[in-house]
């Protein structure tokens, strides 16, 4: 089956290749990039979903999550959330967290 979308590799999102958090992450799938193409998930077979589960983007220990100033505070995604909630995956492209099973196996769009 031919993919109807393009996997966004972490190394592809870094135009100059200098982001140390991206080194060695050639096949990491950014779930946020795929989520933006909502119809793409409907066409995935089980092998393709398994590939996403096994190869989703995992920020390295030295990855600095972007901070957003909101309501008088700097806020950012927290690495501890991924340790506490194993189903939670981070999207570098969207700077957001996603429930991986919800994205891959949802019966209807939210």
Q: What pLDDT tens digit does each residue of the chain (110 aa) get?
A: 333 333 333 333 333 334 444 333 334 788 888 777 766 677 788 888 888 899 888 888 899 999 999 999 999 999 999 889 999 999 998 999 999 998 888 776 65
DSSP 3-state of 39: helix
42, containing H or E segment: helix 38-42
| Beta carbons of 36 and 109 less than 8 angstroms apart | no
Residue 24: phi, psi to the nearest 5? 80, 5
Residues 21/62, Cβ–Cβ less than 8 Å: yes
């Amino acid at each position: 089956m031919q993919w109807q979308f393009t996997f966004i590799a972490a190394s592809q999102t870094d135009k100059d290749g200098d982001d140390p958090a991206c080194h060695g992450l050639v096949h990491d799938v950014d779930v946020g990039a795929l989520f933006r193409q909502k119809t793409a998930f409907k066409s995935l077979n089980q092998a393709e979903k398994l590939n996403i589960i096994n190869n989703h983007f995992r920020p390295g220990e030295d990855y600095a999550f972007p901070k957003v100033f909101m309501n008088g505070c700097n806020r950012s995604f927290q690495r501890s959330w991924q340790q506490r909630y194993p189903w939670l995956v981070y999207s570098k492209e969207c700077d957001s967290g996603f429930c991986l099973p919800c994205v891959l196996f949802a019966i209807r769009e939210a």
